[in-house]
Amino acid sequence: MKFKIVSKGDKQSNEIKSRIKQYLTDFDLEYDKEEPDLVISVGGDGTFLEAFHRYVHRLDCTAFIGVHTGHLGFYADWVPDEVEKLVIDIAKTPFQVVEYPLLEVIIRPESGTGEDRFLALNETAIKTAEGSVVFDVEIKGEHFETFRGDGLCVSTPSGSTAYNKALGGGIIHPSLEAIQLTEMASINNRVFRTIGSPLILPKHHTCLLNPKVNGSFLIAIDHFTQNYTNVKSIQCRVAEEKIRFARYRPFPFWNRVRDSFVSEEDMKV
C-alpha cells in the first residue's frame, strides 16, 4: 500500500509525521506523494481539509484518516498516543471504508463559457465585501425566495458541525445524502422575506443562487476563499463523488459530536 502524510507543520505534528513515516516504511509500505492509497492527516480538521483538497482529483482510489494534535477533531479522530496502534493496523489489516457525502458547487460566469466546479467537504460560504448579497434562491427549478443579507452557507452533513453550526444550522448524520442551506443575517422587511430556517435538501434537489445585483462575491470552498466578479449563478447539490475514510475502529459520529460539544459531566446527569 502507498501512503502520504500531510502535517499541520507545527513541531508536534511534524514529529508525529516522521514517526508514522518511519514505522510504515519499516513495515515495507511505500511513501508516495503522487498516487497514495491512504492519506494520513496529522493536525486538526483544518489540516484534514487541506489534505482532502490536495487529493480531491483521486477520491475513487485514495482513502483518508486523521490524527489530531490539538483538540478532538471531526475528521482527525486518532490521538497521538494511539499512533503505534494505528501504524500496526495500517500495516497489518485491510481498512474498512466509510463514505461521507460531498457538496458540488458550480460557479457560472455571466459571459463566456467557462465554469468552475468544486467539491467541498465542509461547505461553501458566499459573502460580499460590498454590503449585502441579494440572490434569487431557486430550489429544484422553482423560485423559492429572494435572499438579502450577509451571505449564505451550503454545507455537507460532516460540515454541519463547522460553520453551519455557528449559523444555527442543524447537525446532520453523514449517512444522510443531503446538503443544508443556512442564512447569515437575512434582512426581513416588507421588501425582502426569507424562510429564516435552515433548509435541508435531499440528493438531486439542486439549489441555484442567482445574483440579483451584479457584484463581486467572496466564495469560500472549505478553508479557501476566492473573489468572483460577473457571477451568473452558483449551483449547489450533493456530489456524485464521496470521500472515503479508512476505518480501523468505530468512533460513531454522535460520540464525536458529544465529545466535542457536550461535556462528559452533562451526559451523566
Residue window 19-58: x/- pattern of binding to ligand NAP, with contact defined by CB under 6 A: -------------------------xxx--x---------
Please check whether residue 53 is in contact with residue 224, taking contact to mean a CB–CB distance below 8 angstroms.
yes
> Could you say which residues in the range 105-134 bind ligand NAP, by CB under 6 A?
122-123
Nearer to ligand NAP, 52 or 248 (CB): 52
Q: How far is the CB of 222 from ligand NAP (least distance, A)?
A: 4
Residue window 139-168: x/- pattern of binding to ligand NAP, with contact defined by CB under 6 A: -------------------xx-xxx--x--
Nearer to ligand NAP, 24 or 246 (CB): 246
* DSSP bridge pairs for 136: 146, 210
Q: Pairing between strand 123-127 and 216-221? A: antiparallel
Q: How far is the CB of 46 from ligand NAP (least distance, A)?
A: 2
Residue window 180-219: x/- pattern of binding to ligand NAP, with contact defined by CB under 6 A: ----------------------------------------
Q: How far is the CB of 81 from ligand NAP (least distance, A)?
A: 17
Given candidates 2, 193, 223, 232, which one binds ligand NAP under the rule CB under 6 A?
223
Asked if 70 interacts with ligand NAP (CB under 6 A), we say: yes
- Judged by CB under 6 A, the stretch of 24-32, 69-77, 209-217, 230-238 that binds ligand NAP is 69-77
Nearer to ligand NAP, 73 or 198 (CB): 73
Q: How far is the CB of 269 from ligand NAP (least distance, A)?
A: 24
Q: Which residues are catalytic?
A: 45
Q: How far is the CB of 120 from ligand NAP (least distance, A)?
A: 8
HEC string of the chain equals CEEEEEECCCHHHHHHHHHHHHHHHHCCCEECCCCCCEEEEEECHHHHHHHHHHCHHHCCCCEEEEEECCCCCCCEEECHHHHHHHHHHHHHCCCEEEEEEEEEEEEEECCCCCCEEEEECCEEEEECCCCCEEEEEEECCEEEEEEEEEEEEEECCHHHHCHHHHCCCCCCCCCCCEEEEEEEEECCCCCCCCCCCCEEEECCCCEEEEECCCCEEEEEECCEEEEEECEEEEEEEEEEEEEEEEECCCCCHHHHHHHHHCCHHHHHC
Asked if 80 interacts with ligand NAP (CB under 6 A), we say: no
Q: How far is CA 220 from CA 133, 156, 176, 226, 269, in A?
A: 14, 14, 23, 6, 40
Footprint of ligand NAP (CB under 6 A): 44-46, 49, 70, 73-74, 122-123, 158-159, 161-163, 166, 222-223
